[in-house]
Structures are given as C-alpha cells and as structure tokens.
Amino acid sequence: EAGVAQSPRYKIIEKRQSVAFWCNPISGHATLYWYQQILGQGPKLLIQFQNNGVVDDSQLPKDRFSAERLKGVDSTLKIQPAKLEDSAVYLCASSPTRDSSEAFFGQGTRLTVV
C-alpha cells in the first residue's frame, strides 16, 4: 500500500514570497491533516479535512495560510506571503475516517524562509 506522498521535500524561499505544498493521501482515506512542526517541537495541527470539507482550521493563520482539497483527494497548502517564523516541516497525514485510531504521515516538506 502506497503511503502519504508529499512534495517538494525541501523548499527555500525569501520572506514575503509565496510557496505551495502538495499532499496525496493514502487511497480511500477520507480524512486529511496538515501539521506544522517547528524545530524542537511536536507537530501542531493546522487544518483537518473530511473529504473536501474543512472540519477544523482554528489554528491556521488565515491571513497568510490557505489550504484546499477540492476533489476530496489531493490537497495543497499555500503560504502567501511567507515570514521567517514559517520555517518548519509541514507534515501531511491521512486516516480512513475522522475518528480512526490510525493516522499515517508523509515525510514532510522542510521549508526554510530566509
């Protein structure tokens, strides 16, 4: 079974530029999550989708971050404009259902903002 795929693996941008990350969850998984992991900390949930609808985006900085999952499969997370403090690893995870016991993580995209 293929795992959660994310791209790119690494991205370096200057502050005030825009960046987008892509995630392809495990086939058939209805729930998709984006997490932000700042160096030295645990992952923090940014947004959760159930199919193509947003379940929870309470911790998403909506003035600069946006995410979509238009067809209920792939998802993109965008930052516009980026700030230095956005430097982190962005992890995508998926699970079969919202209350499933297991969430599977991709390898993440490491973003460096200079």
Residues that bind other proteins (CB under 8 A): 4, 33, 35, 40-45, 48, 55-56, 91, 93, 98-99, 101-108
Quote the CA–CA distance of 39 and 25 in Å, as a whole number. Answer: 24
Cβ contacts of 103 within 8 Å, gap of 6 or more: 31, 33, 93, 94, 95
Q: Shortest approach of other proteins to residue 81 CB, angstroms?
A: 26
Task: Specify the 3-state DSSP secondary structure of 50.
Answer: strand
- Closer to other proteins by Cβ: residue 25 or 108: 108
Please tell me what DSSP assigns to residue 1.
-
- Closer to other proteins by Cβ: residue 22 or 104: 104
- Closer to other proteins by Cβ: residue 63 or 102: 102
